[in-house]
Amino acid sequence: MVVNKHKDIIINKYSDYDEDARLVSDRGHYVEYLTTMRYIQKFLKPGDKILEVGAATGRYSIALAKTGHEVTAVDLTPKHVEIMKSKTHGLENFRCMTADALDLGMFADKTFDMVLNLGPMYHLFHKRDKQKAVDESIRVAKKGGICMFAYMPCASIMTGYGLRYQKTEQLSKMMDKTGRFKDIPDEVFSCFYIEDFKKLFGKTKTTYITNVATDGIAYVMREWLEQLSEEGYRAFLDWHFLTCERPDQQGYSSHLLYICRKK
């Protein structure tokens, strides 16, 4: 059994963090939710069986279950699983449990029509673990099934943390000569250059579909988004949805979404 050796760091982080409110806390964060859900719905078919790995408090999973899909949600943090259970009493097509993205052994091969890995890749610090998380999510997907993986680009660390909190000097000590930030477990989050993330799928039996900037510039510009009228915000969203697959929109997005189909 493979496990995340740094899981205590992750559990401690989220035991003191209100993840349940994050995606709806302001317009900037809500862009990530709206965009991700938009792509889930684009590929979702009636009757599809869904697994969400790293489901946090079930913001996506519970919404999908309420539309009638059979949904299984797993998360590393026991607090998150308890929150999901408290929110889904009587929802018979939803189940959740504590599990590690590196070991989905409770599920057989080719079980799910769609597998959503929307959190674990943020918190893996070794190449073998990153590859294992990708392989496990793909393993439990059916042939022809859709797999989605959320991850953070390197630039989001500089813009969302370094500039916003005046930590650029600290970050300069944590990056290599190419600007990649080193994987340091105590810093909780890990990031990728887009080309490095795509390499994780080189030997998998998958077909690449697209890569999406789920929040684009919204995260670093969220104060300005709050000042927009409803019409102005809607206009921004329209532009974002039209351009979020463009390579020139992706580097500075806080979150990216890699979408592929299992062969």
Can you say whether residue 136 is alpha, beta or left, with left for phi > 0 and alpha for psi between -120 and 50 degrees? alpha
Report how far Cα 76 is from the mean position of its chain's Cα atoms.
14
Residue 66 within a domain: yes
Residue 210 within a domain: yes
Phi, psi of 213, rounded to the nearest 5 degrees: -85, 100
For residue 108, give the CATH number of its domain: 3.40.50.150
Assess contact for 174 and 184: CB atoms under 8 A. yes
Give strand ranges (E) for 2-82. Answer: 49-53, 70-75
Taking only the tens of pLDDT, the chain with its 263 residues reads 566 778 888 888 887 778 878 888 899 999 999 999 999 999 999 999 999 999 999 999 999 999 999 999 999 999 999 999 999 999 999 999 999 999 999 999 999 999 999 999 999 999 999 999 999 999 999 999 999 999 999 998 898 888 888 999 999 999 999 999 999 888 889 999 999 999 999 999 999 999 999 999 998 898 999 999 999 999 999 999 999 999 988 888 999 999 999 99
For 208, the domain range is 7-262
pLDDT confidence of residue 252: 82
Query: Max alpha carbon distance in the chain (Å)?
Result: 53
Host H or E run for residue 20: helix 19-22
Residue 116 within a domain: yes
Residue 1 within a domain: no
Residue 232 within a domain: yes
Give the total number of structural domains in the chain: 1
Residue 64 within a domain: yes
Phi, psi of 151, rounded to the nearest 5 degrees: -155, 170
